[in-house]
A and B are shown apart, each in its own frame.
Chain A
Amino acid sequence: MVPVSYYLILSGILFACGVTGFLIKRNIITIFMSIELMLNGVNLSFVAFAAEWKALSGQVFVFFVMVVAAAEAAVGLAIIIAVYRTRETLNVDQVNLLKL
């Protein structure tokens, strides 16, 4: 038997790690991976709450979150490729102009 709060704490730790990666990383791809980490943390809390209240809707929401995350990953990586093509860099500190 595992208390629900343990699952929630694990999901909170994952979310906090994602936020930290978003803040301290300077490589645009790693920043994007930190966003995926945050989404994963939230998904874990969805499933934990679904198990606590015996409600299957939580799992359906996780499914939707995953679909949106996959779409977001495809578009985001395409944007990263476009940025790299014009700037020749992946460092976010050097990507500071909207128009080149």
Chain B
Amino acid sequence: MLTYLINGISLGSVYAIIALGYTMVYGIAKMLNFAHGDIIMVGGYASFCAMSYLGWPPAVAVLFSIGVCTVLGIVIERLAYKPLRSATSLAVLITAIGVSYFLQNVALLVWTSNPKVYPNIFEKIPPITVGEAQVSGVTMVTILANIVIMIALTLFTGKTRMGKAMRAVSEDKGAATLMGINVNFTISMTFAIGSGLAAIAGVLLCTAYPNLVPTTGAMPGIKAFVAAVFGGIGSIPGAMIGGILLGVIEIVARALVPDVPSDIFVFAVLIIVLLVKPSGLLGKTVREKV
């Protein structure tokens, strides 16, 4: 059982780090960026290319991939989402799905469907043995990265000028504009940070499950979204808790009922949460003012 729990935490920590990016963009721009999973895929490919073709050390490759994803996030926001700022949220949602498939197909064109095997960049970190189970180096790094990012994001949105501007935009775009906040710039920054986080998530996802294809980000992206809803979308600690719980649920379900595809349980969680507590575990219930 302990083995399953630890494997679940390993998987969940990957969902958590993706969910952090989801929740960050949703919390501020109030839009679901379904292309988040595919930005992760681009981040994976960017770092893979930097390491395998250019021979860069992993640390530089990760920075490079953060740079690529940040720029990509800003460009996507400018071209695809900004013109729809005053459109219905459904229009933006459909656009995000379109962007997601656009990125997957461009990746198919550029990198083809031949899977690439991602190098283990945390090879030097020895695994810790807990009872009969092993916690791998990449899991420890992922959990650590989760905590660091979670604290950094909380501090950033709470203390800095930019962070305060983001919260203001999130609460009321009109009033924020009146207070002299540049709403467009603030939302662009949100996408930049969210996409930078996606690059980190991409590196960690590909290191943990080293198989890189153009659809690599799609399913983890959706599951991370479930995790974000589970934890309370918009809530930063909620994303992390939701992610880890979802990973544990998935692995334990697979162990207890091996004949049933485990995704049934993952998505059942989404439905139950939306029915019972739509604001999620840590989410705030906000009544819409008229």
A and B together in one complex: no
User: Which chain A residues have a beta carbon within 8 Å of chain B's beta carbons?
Assistant: none
